[in-house]
Structure 1
Amino acid sequence: MSIVVAVQLAAVFSMASATPVPSNATATTSHGRNTTAPPPPFGANHTVGEGAGWFFDGNANASVANYSAWAANRTFYLGDYLIFSTNTDNTVVHTTNATVYKLCGDGGAAAAAGCSGGGWKTEEAFLTVMLTAEGANYFFSDAGGGEHCRKGMRFELAVARGHGLPPVPASYYEPLSAAPPAAGCSSSMVVALAAGVAIAAILVL
């Protein structure tokens, strides 16, 4: 008799383990939740051009990478960093002015359009840039009289707010305000300041 009972109990347990789980059993775990991924913490790094770096191929007369495609495949937030791995033969110009970007930094054409002030230019072998301006940001090289830019050494990106910028250190001093840009021009570039010049100026003072 005990053998029969044991067989019956084994059959019951076998049926219970084989019972399928209702399809909506796990649906409640995500019900009502916001599945949109939050922005990452401050300081996400983006290496421009990945392994190709920020260079111009003189033999091919073109940039070594499609920088516009690189930027289009990424999401950028305030406080993120762009890393330019390059050399001093290449420049990095930043602007939030679409006209200056389209002109590839042609100083004469930019001046004729009434665009000046607000951005920066540098020539460094390795450069790390924090994204501090929300919205459209433009980067290009004006080397070769703007030819490098016209041949692909340029990209634009949209910077989202995310968590916003990290707190400003107590020792930070607000830079002098630039003159208001002309009509049709948001803040633009044309500030050329190398690190060595800045240090020299401090020593002189």
Structure 2
Amino acid sequence: MLTLVLLLLLKGLCLCIRGAFGASATYNVGGDKGWVVGLVNYTEWAANHTFYTGDSLVFLYEAEVHTVLEVGKSGYEDCSSANAIASYEDGKTSVVLRQAGTHYFICGVAQHCPAGQKLQVVALDAPAPPPNSGPPAFMTAGGLQPSTNLGTSLPSLPLPLSSLLTLGPISYYILLL
């Protein structure tokens, strides 16, 4: 249970950091297996990730054997390449999710899409960076007070150091951030 809580805290921390810096992420579609037929459940793979506008999907595949087609919803459902939005055959295709919404990809090689080589991802609007609110404030025994001399004072921790160490090194690290 503690492990699950720590993992959720870390994921939340990563999302906060990502939002603070406006960073985009790069995802290798299918993980280590890449863009292949029959070895990856792309629905499950996509469900384990949160995508935002600005993120990149990298499709790694054998160019002689596979393709990547960006299609509409009907092309995805019918495994049809007839009205493809974009077509790639280079073996290392990087697609930036420029718009929020659902994006659909299939392999255009016969029988690959019906065998599961297709991907649907939902891109959310990228989190807005926080407004610039001036110099940082530090927590002291008297409450939240702005610091005027950042070079000589350190923030007070809300818990004694010994209490943090009993929570484990990850909790200590998170609280120091």
Instruction: Flag whether TM exceeds 0.5 (same fold).
Output: yes
Give runs of aligned pairs for residues 44-59 of structure 1, distance below 5 A.
Answer: 44-56=25-37
Conservation of the 8 A alpha-carbon contact between 1:138 and 1:157: yes
Counterparts of 2:34 and 2:115, CA distance in 1: 16
Decide which of 134, 154, 161 is 2:125's aligned counterpart.
Answer: 161
Conservation of the 8 A alpha-carbon contact between 1:42 and 1:163: no
Q: Unaligned 5+ residue runs, structure 2?
A: 1-12, 129-177
Alignment-derived partner of residue 106 in structure 2: 140
Q: CA deviation at 1:163?
A: 4.0
- Structure number with the higher strand fraction is 2
RMSD: 2.4
Structure 1 residues 134 and 151 mapped into 2: Cα distance closer, same or farther (>3 Å)?
same
Q: CA deviation at 1:157?
A: 1.0
Alignment-derived partner of residue 184 in structure 1: none
Give runs of aligned pairs for residues 70-89 of structure 1, distance below 5 A.
Answer: 70-88=45-63, 89=65
Conservation of the 8 A alpha-carbon contact between 2:69 and 2:81: no
Task: Deviation per CA, 1:125-179: give whole Å up to 9, x if none.
Answer: 11111111211111110202xx100101012111000147xxxxxxxxxxxxxxx
- TM-score norm. by structure 1 comes to 0.50
Counterparts of 1:102 and 1:55, CA distance in 2: 18
Q: CA deviation at 1:39?
A: 7.4
Q: Does 1:128 align with 2:103?
A: no
Structure 1 residues 39 and 53 mapped into 2: Cα distance closer, same or farther (>3 Å)?
same
Equivalences, count = 113
Structure 1 runs (4+) greater than 2 angstroms displaced: 35-43
Counterparts of 2:50 and 2:77, CA distance in 1: 22
Conservation of the 8 A alpha-carbon contact between 1:39 and 1:77: no
Identity level (%):
28
Q: CA deviation at 1:50?
A: 0.6
Alignment-derived partner of residue 101 in structure 1: 76
Alignment-derived partner of residue 186 in structure 1: none
Structure 1 residues 49 and 92 mapped into 2: Cα distance closer, same or farther (>3 Å)?
same
Counterparts of 2:28 and 2:14, CA distance in 1: 25
Counterparts of 2:17 and 2:107, CA distance in 1: 29
Structure 1 residues 154 and 38 mapped into 2: Cα distance closer, same or farther (>3 Å)?
same
Higher relative contact order (CA 8 A, sep 6+): 1
Task: Deviation per CA, 1:50-76: give whole Å up to 9, x if none.
Answer: 1111112xxxxxx22111110011100
Q: CA deviation at 1:77?
A: 0.3
Structure 1 residues 135 and 81 mapped into 2: Cα distance closer, same or farther (>3 Å)?
same
Give runs of aligned pairs for residues 32-47 of structure 1, distance below 5 A.
Answer: 37-38=15-16, 40=18, 41-47=22-28
User: Quick one: which amino acid aligns to residue 77 of structure 1?
Assistant: Y
Conservation of the 8 A alpha-carbon contact between 2:103 and 2:120: yes
